Amino acid sequence: MKSAVAISHELDNAAEAARQLADSVLEKIELKKHSVGILLCDADTDGAAVTGELKKRLGIDVAGMTTLATMDADGRHEAAAVLTVLTADDCVFSAAASASLSASGYEQKITEAYAATVPADAAAYGAKPAVVFAFCPYGLPFSGDKYPETLSKAAQDAPVMGGVASDDYDYERARVFLSGHDYSDALVVVSVWGEAKPVFAIRHVTSRFAERIRRVVRAEGNVVHDVGGETFVQYLEGFGLKTDVEDPLLAFTSYPMMLTQEGQDETPLMRHIFSLNAETGSGSFLGDVPTGALANICLVNKDDVKAACRESMKALLETAAAQPGYEYSAVFCISCCGRAMILGAEADAEGRILSEMLPENLSLTGAYCLGEICPALYTGEKASNRFHNCSITFCML
């Protein structure tokens, strides 16, 4: 598999942006038998128009989503569109969008979207895909966990990589798109079949905690009612945090909750607070919160974010080096919007670090999302796909 990455800062003229991206890609690689494009771009981009134009120019499906900021080998970019094209003779790529998702029936629609990406001659490429990319809409009335859960089931525990579309914290312009269409309430799935050996890495920040560990007594999906005998709002106020805020997702972005479940060996769950209910005292999160888990508030700062970025990239490169005989080409990075906000004046810190650490033979595409999907564990056969927050995740193909 080969890859090429192109960037355009042209956000107001979709056709021009598409032209710049397509020309840049074609300068770098020759398209092989099968190809797919992944577009990560600023929320002001007309994703539908750009991906439609790219499909015309390159003759390939282009899927993607809006993000807070993007990354490539040169670092972080605000107000840009970054296109990665994957091309191979021994892999097939397939993309599809789900029907509109709502509170009910979403599992079936997600499954159908995945099923639509299964090639007719899938058997020739293995029992299941090498990796599934998921570009998820923001703000739907169900937990982000449902995406990896449903896709895992449909794809027989194949690894799932992706994120939740974001914008500039206005929550109105986040979109996902596929080849000329954009969606605020649909999932776009790209599955990769054939000779690909993806490797993954994930890190979140765990160095400092507020040391007020309590057990989640009652939670329903992503809504927490009772923590250690208090309502969730009381639990937060116990730290001295202000709960009467307009934008809880932004206000608590530096204070994600870490959840550990006794007996579990996998990476602990990180969860960002999404909203607070002053009446009931409950709190909603971007992902599920398991009842009985031990909860603690993390205190995240820039150094933690940078350290996790470095560790994660290092782990990724080491894992890839342990796969002899396979030539990697592209690195995808999905990082959390919260991490971007925590970096503050050092907003480009992660981009810089990745740029420094990226080997020359690899391309890099990254995005800041409101939720990351990545396997917590992947044995090569089976992936434990999870929905994460406040984490930096990688997939190398």
Q: Which is nearer to other proteins, 112 or 230 (CB)?
A: 230
Question: Which listed range, 46-54, 93-101, 235-243, 262-270, lies at the site for other proteins (CB under 8 A)?
Answer: 235-243
169 binds other proteins (CB under 8 A): yes
> Which residue bears the tokens 């490539």?
72
235 binds other proteins (CB under 8 A): no
Determine if residue 64 is left, alpha or beta; phi over 0 gives left, psi from -120 to 50 gives alpha, anything else beta. Answer: left
195 binds other proteins (CB under 8 A): no
User: x/- contact string, 249-268, with other proteins (CB under 8 A)?
Assistant: -xxxxxx-------------
Query: Residue 240: which residues within 8 A CB-CB, separation 6 or more?
Result: none
Phi, psi of 226 (to 5 degrees): -135, 125
Select the residue interacting with other proteins from 73, 217, 299, 307 (CB under 8 A): 299
Select the residue interacting with other proteins from 33, 207, 208, 245 (CB under 8 A): 245
Instruction: Give the separation between CA 132 and CA 110, rounded to whole angstroms.
Output: 12
240 binds other proteins (CB under 8 A): yes
Considering only residues 110 to 139 of the shown chain, the ones binding other proteins according to CB under 8 A are none
372 binds other proteins (CB under 8 A): no
283 near 234, Cβ under 8 Å? Answer: no
Taken as a whole, the chain contains a residue count of: 397
Considering only residues 54 to 83 of the shown chain, the ones binding other proteins according to CB under 8 A are 78-79
Q: Which residues pair with 95 in a beta bridge?
A: 190
Select the residue interacting with other proteins from 105, 126, 141, 344 (CB under 8 A): 344
Q: Name residue 282's amino acid.
A: S
Question: Which listed range, 33-41, 245-253, 304-312, 357-365, lies at the site for other proteins (CB under 8 A)?
Answer: 245-253
| DSSP assigned state of 327 | -
62-67 and 214-220 beta bridge pairing? unpaired
Size, binding site for other proteins by CB under 8 A: 27
Q: State CA 235 to chain mean position distance.
A: 29
SS3 225: strand
* Interaction site with other proteins (CB under 8 A): 11-12, 42, 44, 78-79, 168-170, 210, 239-242, 245, 247, 250-255, 299, 341-342, 344, 347
